[in-house]
């Protein structure tokens, strides 16, 4: 049986002295799978991902990556295991797109060395995979928000890590590019055997592309498992306060359609 590549045990995080964003959550993630982390606004999805990526080190509990405690790994070791696609990214420096993507090779290049042919080839392949080669000589600061998101995904691909962590990577993209990115992630998971964990809002995206879903609600992981089982009417109503109709095929849910009204509750709008 395959061992988990990432484990989180009894994870709790609070900002300063406030109420915990989440409390005593545990999960394990295996390579070769795409995990969708879902929950309402303010449920703590981004905070969980920031703990996994060491951007928020002040958690209690334990995170293990490839058998090693996350806190024991150096920054370079972590960067060779895990790449990050943030929800938003801005820079004041006018880098060319191709150089932004090439930055994904930083964990493999010594401080005073320049990227080599292999590094540039990997960056070029990532730009082709994501479909941004026409942007390669444009300034990163002069392209649209959706295009910048594609650049960040290409940079993560260039980093060549077994784990990719993505915080709502499709939030600024049009429908075509949403499907492009999710299809690409699914293919990478299948072909390269990587582990991808993605914070996502749309249940239909999770149903079509995810292998496993984790539902974060009221500071706990309340449901986890195959999306066609987890994302049912009751779960969606409990988490989002939205009534939906299920579209089923061969016993599993393949899609959901919102009905004409929602429950009025401030609990689901935070």
Provide the pLDDT confidence category of residue 165 given band limits of 50, 70 and 90: very high
What is the value of pTM for the model shown? 0.88
Choice among 27-36, 48-57, 252-261 with the minimum mean pLDDT = 252-261
The whole-number pLDDT of residue 73 equals 94
Give domain limits for the chain: 90-161
Name the average pLDDT for the chain: 89
The residue-averaged pLDDT of 206-219 equals 94
The whole-number pLDDT of residue 225 equals 95
Q: Is the pLDDT of residue 262 over 60?
A: no
The whole-number pLDDT of residue 191 equals 86
The 10s digit of each residue's pLDDT in 28-39 is 999 999 999 999
Which is more confidently placed, 252 or 207? 207
The whole-number pLDDT of residue 134 equals 97
Residue 170 neighbours by CB distance under 10 Å? 23
What lies within 8 Å, CB to CB, of 189 at 6+ separation is 32, 33, 34, 195, 196, 211
The 10s digit of each residue's pLDDT in 5-26 is 999 999 999 987 778 999 999 9
Q: What is each CA distance from 52 to 109, 234, 260, in whole angstroms?
A: 24, 29, 38
Provide the pLDDT confidence category of residue 267 given band limits of 50, 70 and 90: very low
The residue-averaged pLDDT of 63-91 equals 90
Which is more confidently placed, 120 or 263? 120
What lies within 8 Å, CB to CB, of 135 at 6+ separation is 97, 127, 143, 147, 150, 151
The residue-averaged pLDDT of 206-228 equals 94
Q: Is the pLDDT of residue 159 over 90?
A: yes
Provide the pLDDT confidence category of residue 268 given band limits of 50, 70 and 90: very low
The whole-number pLDDT of residue 269 equals 41
For residue 258, what are its two tokens? 């919102």
The 10s digit of each residue's pLDDT in 128-143 is 988 899 999 999 999 9
Q: Is the pLDDT of residue 264 over 90?
A: no
The whole-number pLDDT of residue 261 equals 58
If you write DSSP's letter for every residue of the chain in order, what string do you get? -PPPSEEEEEEEE-STTS--SEEEEEEEE-TT-EEEEE--TTSSHHHHHHHHTTS----EEEEEETTEEGGGS-HHHHHHHEEEE-S----SS--BHHHHHHGGGGGGS-TT----HHHHHHHHHHHHHHT-GGGTTSBGGGS-HHHHHHHHHHHHHHT--SEEEEESTTTTS-HHHHHHHHHHHHHHHHHH--EEEEE---HHHHHHH-SEEEEEETTEEEEEE-HHHHS-HHHHHHHH-EEEEEEEETTEEEEEEEEEEE---GGG--
């Amino acid at each position: 049986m395959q061992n988990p590549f990432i484990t989180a045990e009894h994870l709790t995080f609070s900002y300063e002295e406030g109420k915990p964003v989440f409390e005593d959550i545990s999960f394990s993630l295996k390579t070769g799978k795409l995990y969708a982390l879902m929950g309402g606004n303010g449920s703590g999805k981004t905070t969980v991902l920031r703990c996994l990526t060491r951007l928020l080190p002040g958690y209690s509990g334990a995170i293990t990556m490839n058998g090693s405690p996350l806190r024991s790994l150096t920054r370079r070791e972590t960067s060779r295991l895990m790449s990050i696609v943030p929800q938003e990214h801005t820079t004041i420096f006018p880098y060319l797109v191709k150089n932004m993507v090439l930055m994904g090779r930083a964990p493999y290049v010594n401080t005073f060395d320049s990227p080599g042919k292999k590094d540039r080839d990997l960056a070029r392949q990532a730009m082709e995979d994501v479909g941004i080669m026409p942007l390669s000589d444009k300034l990163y600061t002069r392209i649209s928000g959706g295009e910048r998101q594609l650049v960040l995904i290409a940079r993560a691909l260039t980093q060549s890590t077994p784990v990719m962590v993505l915080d709502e990577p499709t939030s600024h993209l049009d429908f075509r590019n949403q499907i492009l990115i999710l299809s690409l992630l699914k293919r990478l998971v299948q072909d390269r055997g990587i582990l991808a964990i993605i914070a996502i809002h749309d249940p239909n995206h999770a149903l079509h592309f995810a292998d496993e879903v984790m539902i974060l609600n009221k500071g706990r992981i309340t449901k986890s498992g195959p999306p066609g089982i987890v994302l049912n009417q009751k779960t969606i109503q409990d988490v989002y306060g939205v009534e939906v109709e299920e579209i089923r095929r061969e016993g599993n849910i393949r899609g959901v359609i919102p009905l004409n009204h929602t429950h009025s509750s401030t609990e689901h709008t935070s």
